[in-house]
Amino acid sequence: MKILVYCCFFLFLWACKSQEPSQKIKKPVETNTTPKKPQYSGESQTMDPNTVLVQAKEISFHSNDVLLCGTAYDHTLVVKIEKIEGSGSSLINMISKDQVLTLGVSKVVSEQYQLQRTQENFDILILKLREKPCPDMTTTDYEILSVQF
Instruction: Give pLDDT tens digits along the chain (149 positions).
Output: 788 888 777 777 766 555 555 555 556 665 555 544 444 544 445 788 889 999 999 898 888 878 888 888 888 889 999 999 988 888 888 889 999 999 888 777 877 777 777 666 677 888 999 988 888 878 888 888 888 87
Q: In whole angstroms, give the CA distance from residue 58 to residue 81.
A: 9
Q: In whole angstroms, give the CA distance from residue 43 to residue 131.
A: 18
Q: In whole angstroms, give the CA distance from residue 55 to residue 124.
A: 6
Using CA atoms, how far residue 79 sits from 61, 83, 99, in Å, is 9, 12, 8
Handedness of CA 64, 67, 71, 72 (dihedral sign): positive
Q: Parallel, antiparallel, or unpaired: how do β-strands 125-133 and 100-105 relate? A: unpaired
Question: Beta partners for 3?
Answer: none
What is the C-alpha R_g of the chain? 29
Domains, the chain, ordered by start: 51-148 (2.40.50)
